[in-house]
Amino acid sequence: MSSPNENNCGYNLMEMLAVSAARVIRDGEVVFVGTGLPMLAALLAKAAHAPNISMVTEAGIYHPKPMHMPMSVSDSRWFYKSPWVAGPVEIMNVFLQKRRIDVGFLGGAQIDIYGNLNSTVIGDYLKPTHRLPGSGGASDIGTLANRTIITMVHEKRRFVKRVDFLTTPGWKCYKFPGRLLVPRDELGMWGGPAVVISDMGVMRFDETTKEMYVDQYFADTGITLEQIKANTAFDINVSRAKPALPPTDKELTVLREKIDPERIFLGRKRKE
Amino acid sequence: MGLKQRKTLKEAIEAIKDGDAIVLGGWTIFRTPMAAAYEIIRQGKKDLYLSASATGTISDMLIGAGCVKICEAAWHGHEAYGFSYNVKRVIEEGKTNFRHLEETTTSVFMRAYAAAMGLPFIPTLALKGSDMLNPEYDTLKDLRGKDPKIAKKRYLEIDDPFWEGNKVILIPAARPDVAIIHVQEVGEEGTIRINGPQFGDIWYAAAAKYTIVTTEKIVSEEFLKENTNLNSIPGEFVDAIVEVPFGSHPGGCYGYHDTDPWFYKDYVEASKKEQTFRQWLDKWVFDLPDHAAYLNKIGKEQIKAITADPAYGYNPNLKRSI
């Protein structure tokens, strides 16, 4: 089912996701970014309301101010006029594991009610229907960041009861042996997913049950709560949902003219 | 230290044996030793045990060409240029004896880091809660304890005995036979200067028994010694030096050239099916005697179009979505 907002509202899916994600970043934070949407969101946040954020990428980039849109965490464009560069050994340990990362970005092909993510395979791991890129640094970010922002396309085949492979841990994840679902703090983990942003709305996790619920929905584009429920395979609570604010002209202008004028990511029809 | 062996690419790659454990430097579409990979395929190397973190074109090509038996990797793809279709197909079809082991960025580099430091294993707080620790999904399970190149266990979980008793995951060091990295400058005594991001190349170079360095340019040691701080890897870790300009094409190389969008468009399309990929391999690898012929075939115009602007280290005018 295609989103109605892709054509009617003067902005497309990727733009809305980037704007919503940017708004959740607070000024002064150290933000762990990846390719595509996270980069867009962080760069937009920096240009809009959070000028003092620092970004890192797992390839070793620190506090970049790229002039042109990078297309990889390792792109030469990140290196331009950055104050210091390291490698993955420093970033994943001294930054991430040492709890210096305030917010990390995550995504995936599947997500469940506790915010566990799958970016590894669809189907049985040992004989998959679809092989996906894999974790990269996602699992590490999900385990070690102080909080995470997840971006997803809202479809029933993505918002699943149980992920086919648990790549990135959410609030209740696996303990072995037995593959038991346990609260993440039982495994000694801090952090956890704070928010899920989809093309239909913004979801958060209940303080007590740790289950995903709808916090805001993109009513401006015609999205309804019934649609959100119909596109979620698990029972999702919508009783706390409020209409979300649409992207402002300023946010869209910055995105389109300053951040991704080549439309390398903004031009995509769907988020992968 | 002394002078390092300056070799041709053909000679350097001849040192690799079938079944060798190999680590490749760079990152997805930047500064990976592509020229070395083309030569590996050309020489028909088989059963390689590849360890890579975020890996793209180089693994996709080697796996698609049937050179790899085991790949331990965290991530596959050519970034915005497209997905690693060869890897996808080989795994989904399951027709070959290829095995894939899931890693994360942290686990791959920490295993190489441990190896570089001579440690048998190293602790990490990563991997917890994920299916990376699922014993059912350990695709090397039946080889552990039998194949001397593979660790006896995938991991061990302990409670920290020194402080608060948090769960810590111990992961085995890697054991690479060969490391191959592509860098901007190397001196005749093997001093390496990497410009731009270093990635994990120093750890790979130090971890392996035999390290091959391909470089844009062999320069004088005297020149490199004028700026000690800019030098990345000592000649101590280097075994063979090969001068290969555009040795990471179609990936980018900071300061020298950008990624090649035209080449990628063609490659990604060809990699979607086995038959078209075979044809692609014939055209770009088997029908060409060496890297110079490859560059000739790409042509001056395309090379010029991706050449970096020295003020930026990449080409700011390059249109990458074509």
B274-281 and B261-270 helices, crossing angle to 10° = 130
Residue A4 clears pLDDT 50, i.e. is over it? no
A37-48 and A13-23 helices, crossing angle to 10° = 60
pLDDT, tens digit, 9 for 90 and up, residues B12-43: 999 999 999 999 999 999 999 999 999 999 99
pLDDT, tens digit, 9 for 90 and up, residues A151-205: 998 999 999 999 999 999 999 999 999 999 999 999 999 999 999 999 899 999 9
pLDDT, tens digit, 9 for 90 and up, residues B229-250: 999 999 999 999 999 999 999 9
- Contact B100/A126 with Cβ under 8 angstroms? no
pLDDT at A246: 85
Q: What percent of chain B has pLDDT over 70?
A: 99
Looking at the structure, do residues B136 and B232 belong to the same domain, yes or no? no
Confidence of residue A258 (pLDDT cuts 50, 70, 90): confident
Q: Which of B23, B53, B71, B75 should be substituted to probe chain A, the one whose Cβ sees the most A Cβ atoms within 10 Å? A: B75
> Phi-psi bin for B220: left (phi > 0), alpha (psi -120 to 50), beta?
beta
B34-42 and B57-64 helices, crossing angle to 10° = 0
pLDDT at B227: 97
Query: Quick check: B130 and A143 CB within 8 A?
Result: yes
Which of B175, B257, B181, B176 lies closest to B26 in space, CA to CA? B181
pLDDT at B7: 94
Between residues 90 and 129 of chain A, which touch chain B (CB distance below 8 Å)?
Answer: 92-93, 96-97, 120, 125-129
Query: Quick check: A88 and B53 CB within 8 A?
Result: yes
Tally of CA atoms within 13 A in the half-sphere of B10 that contains its CB = 6
pLDDT at B106: 97
Structure tokens at A192: 């956890």
Q: Which residues of B touch A175 (CB under 8 A)?
A: 129
Average pLDDT value for residue range A133-143: 97
pLDDT at A8: 63
Query: Quick check: A87 and B197 CB within 8 A?
Result: yes
- Peptide bond before A66: cis, by omega within 30 degrees of 0? no
Strand partners, B130: none
Domain count for chain B, please give it: 2
Give phi and psi for B89, each to the nearest 5: -65, -45
pLDDT at B151: 97
Residue A271 clears pLDDT 70, i.e. is over it? no
Residue B133 clears pLDDT 80, i.e. is over it? yes
pLDDT at A6: 46
A176 vs B: CB within 8 A: yes
Mean residue pLDDT of chain A comes to 91
pLDDT at A127: 96
d(CA A193, CA B23): 33
SS3 readout for B96-151: CCCEEEECCHHHHHHHHHHHHCCCCEEEECCCCCCHHHCHHHCCCHHHCCCCCCCC
Question: Among A15-24, A248-257, B68-77, which range has the highest average pLDDT?
Answer: B68-77
- State the complex-level ipTM: 0.96
Query: Quick check: B200 and A166 CB within 8 A?
Result: no
Looking at the structure, do residues B200 and B156 belong to the same domain, yes or no? no
Looking at the structure, do residues B47 and B139 belong to the same domain, yes or no? no
Structure tokens at B55: 């890996």
- Please report, as a single letter, which amino acid is at residue A212: M
The domain containing residue B73 runs over which residues? Answer: 1-119+175-322
Q: How do strand A180-183 and strand A117-118 relate by DSSP bridges? A: unpaired
pLDDT at A270: 53
CA dist B36 → B22, B128, B185, B247 (Å): 12, 36, 16, 8
* Cα separation of the two ends of chain A: 15
- Contact B217/B184 with Cβ under 8 angstroms? yes
Query: Quick check: B130 and A188 CB within 8 A?
Result: no
Residue A5 clears pLDDT 60, i.e. is over it? no
pLDDT, tens digit, 9 for 90 and up, residues B186-219: 999 999 999 999 999 999 999 999 999 999 999 9
Number of other residues whose CB lies within 10 A of the CB of residue B97: 8
Give phi and psi for B231, each to the nearest 5: -90, 140
Looking at the structure, do residues B97 and B5 belong to the same domain, yes or no? yes
d(CA B158, CA A251): 48
Question: How big is chain A by its Cα radius of gyration, in Å?
Answer: 18
Residue A9 clears pLDDT 70, i.e. is over it? yes
Q: What percent of chain B has pLDDT over 90?
A: 96
Q: Which residues of B touch A127 (CB under 8 A)?
A: 94
Looking at the structure, do residues B197 and B69 belong to the same domain, yes or no? yes
CATH of domain A4-259: 3.40.1080.10
Helix ranges (H only) for chain A are 13-23, 37-48, 76-79, 88-90, 138-144, 225-230, 249-253
Confidence of residue B95 (pLDDT cuts 50, 70, 90): very high
- Please report, as a single letter, which amino acid is at residue A243: P
Looking at the structure, do residues B166 and B96 belong to the same domain, yes or no? no
pLDDT at B94: 95
Average pLDDT value for residue range B68-93: 97
pLDDT, tens digit, 9 for 90 and up, residues A197-227: 998 999 999 999 999 999 999 888 889 999 9
Which of B290, B104, B272, B103 lies closest to B214 in space, CA to CA? B290
Burial class (CB in 10 A: 0-12, 13-18, 19+), B6: middle
Structure tokens at B292: 């110079």
Which of B183, B232, B208 lies closest to B15 in space, CA to CA? B208
* Cα separation of the two ends of chain B: 48
pTM for the predicted model, two decimal places: 0.94
Q: Which residue has the higher pLDDT, B45 or A39?
A: B45
pLDDT at A225: 97
CA dist B21 → A97, B18, B72, B81, B112 (Å): 28, 9, 11, 28, 12
Q: Which of A61, A73, A74, A265 should be substituted to probe chain B, the one whose Cβ sees the most B Cβ atoms within 10 Å? A: A74
Query: Quick check: B30 and A87 CB within 8 A?
Result: no
- Contact B197/A79 with Cβ under 8 angstroms? yes
pLDDT at B135: 97
Q: Which residues of A touch B76 (CB under 8 A)?
A: 131, 133-134
pLDDT at B1: 58
Structure tokens at B133: 């620790």
Looking at the structure, do residues B159 and B89 belong to the same domain, yes or no? no
Domains of chain A: which residue ranges? 4-259
- Reply yes or no on whether A58 is catalytic: yes
Helix ranges (H only) for chain B are 9-14, 34-42, 57-64, 85-93, 105-116, 201-207, 221-225, 261-270, 274-281, 291-298, 300-306
Among residues B137, B157, B172, the one where a domain terminates is: B172
d(CA A101, CA A119): 22
Query: Quick check: A135 and B110 CB within 8 A?
Result: no
B137 vs A: CB within 8 A: yes
pLDDT, tens digit, 9 for 90 and up, residues B160-191: 999 999 999 999 999 999 999 999 999 999 99
Q: Which residues of A touch B134 (CB under 8 A)?
A: 174, 176, 179
Number of other residues whose CB lies within 10 A of the CB of residue A165: 27
Confidence of residue A272 (pLDDT cuts 50, 70, 90): very low
DSSP state of B280: H
Q: Residue A77: CB partners within 8 Å, gap ≥ 6?
A: A66, A67, A68, A69, A70, A71, B312, B314
pLDDT at A1: 33
